[in-house]
Structure 1
C-alpha cells in the first residue's frame, strides 16, 4: 500500500527540521572553534612564531605579542607567497645572524609542513614554550597539529581577519574537514 501524501509531508518536514537543526548546531560549533578562539590569558613564552599566509594580518599581532610580553625571539614562516608578503619582506630586509628574528622555510607550504618545521625549530632552540600566531579560523587545527609535533607548551594567539559571511562559511567547511583530517591522520609522534 503506497504511503499517503500527508504521511510523506510529515516525514519530509521531520527530515528538513533535522537538517536545519544539525546545520544550526554545526554553525554554533564552528563559531566557537574558528571565531571565538581568543585565549583567556596570554603570557610570556620563549618565542613568538607566526605561521605563513595572511602576513599583513598576522605579522602585526605577532610583533605586538613579542613587544608587549618582552619575548626575545620572533620566528616567521618565510614562504615567498603573495599572501605572506609582509612576513617575507621582513625576512628579506633583516640582517642575519639576528638573535631576535628567525625566518624559517617549511618543507611543505601547508599547516602540516609548518607544524613539522615549528617542532624542529622548538627542539633546535631548546624552547620550553612558544606563542603561535595565526588567523582565528586556523587556531584550532594549527594548534592541534603543532601539539602533535612538540612536547613544548604551545600558546595559540589569533589574528582576526575581516571576512564576508560567505568567506567565513568557506573557512568553516575547510577547517571542519581539516580538523577531521588531523584527528584521523596525526602529523608527528611527539604529541
Structure 2
C-alpha cells in the first residue's frame, strides 16, 4: 500500500523543518565562531604576528597593536601573493637584520604552513607569548592550528573585513570545513 499524499506532505514538511532548523543553528554558530570573535581583554606579548593574506586589512591592526602595547617585534608572513601585497612591500623595503621586524615565508602558503613556521620562530626567539592578527572569520581556525604547534601563550586579535552577505556565507562554509579539518588532523602532531 502506498503512503497517502497527506503522509508524504507531513514527512516532507518535517524534513524541511529539520533542514531549515539545522541551517539556522549552523548560521548562529558560524556567527559566534567567525564574526563575534573579539577578545574581552588583550595584553602585551613578546611579538605581534600578522598572518598572510588580506594585508590591507590585517597589517594596520598588527601595527596598531604593536604601538599600543609597545610590543618589540612585528612578524610578517611574506607570501608574494596578491592579497598580501602591503605586507610583502613592508618586508621588501625593510632593512635586515632588524630587531623590530621579522619577515618569514611559510613552507606552505596556507595556515598550516604558517602555524609550523610560527612554532619555529617561537622556539628560535624564546618567546613565551605572541599575538596573532588575522581576519575575524579566520581567527578560530588559525588559533587552533597555531595553538597545536606551540606551547607559547597565543593571543588572537581580529581585523574586521568589509564583506557582503555572499562573501560572509562563503567564508562561513570555508572556515567551517577548515575548523573540522584542524580538529580531525591536528597540525604539528608528529613533532
Q: TM-score, normalised by structure 1?
A: 0.99
Q: Could you tell me which residue of structure 1 aligns to residue 29 of structure 2?
A: 29
Question: Could you report, residue by residue, the CA deviation over 1:83-107 in whole angstroms, capped at 9, with x for unpaired residues?
Answer: 0001000001111111100000000
Which residue pairs with 1:81 in the alignment? 81
Question: Which ranges of structure 2 fall in alignment gaps of 5 or more residues?
Answer: none
For 2:149, the equivalent position in structure 1 comes to 149
**SS of match in other structure, 1:127:** coil
Does the 8 A contact of 1:149 with 1:190 survive in 2? Answer: no
Name the SS for the 1:102 alignment partner.
strand
Q: Distance in 1 between matches of 2:18 and 2:186?
A: 32
**Aligned partners of 1:150 and 1:190 also within 8 Å:** no
Aligned residue in 1 for 2:56: 56
Residues 164-179 of structure 1 aligned to structure 2 (within 5 Å): 164-179=164-179
Contact 1:77 1:87 in 2 (8 A): yes
Task: Indicate conservation of the 8 Å contact 1:139/1:156, yes or no.
Answer: yes
Task: Using the TM superposition, give the Cα deviation of residue 63 of structure 1 relative to its aligned residue in structure 2, in angstroms.
Answer: 0.2
Runs of 4+ in 1 over 3 A off after TM superposition: none
Equivalent residue, structure 1, for 2:39: 39
RMSD over equivalenced CA pairs, Å: 1.0
Q: What are the Cα deviations for residues 15-51 of structure 1, in whole angstroms up to 9, with x where unaligned?
A: 1000000000000000000000000001000000000
Q: Which runs of 5+ in 1 are unaligned?
A: none
Determine the C-alpha separation between the residues in 2 that align with 1:111 and 1:73.
21
Residue 137 of structure 2: aligned partner: 137
What residue is the counterpart of 1:189 in the other structure?
A: 189
CA distance in 1 between counterparts of 2:4 and 2:151 reads 61
Question: For the residues of structure 2 that align with 1:61 and 1:9, how far apart are their CA atoms?
Answer: 53
- Aligned counterparts of 1:15 and 1:189: Cα–Cα separation in 2: 40
> For residues 107-118 of structure 1, what are the structure 2 equivalents within 5 Å?
107-118=107-118
Contact 1:148–1:190 (CA under 8 A) maintained in structure 2: no
User: C-alpha separation between the residues in 1 aligned to 2:29 and 2:118?
Assistant: 28
Could you tell me how far 1:189 is from its partner in structure 2?
3.0
The answer (yes or no) to whether the contact 1:63–1:74 under 8 Å persists in 2 is yes
Deviation at 1:190, TM superposition (A): 8.5
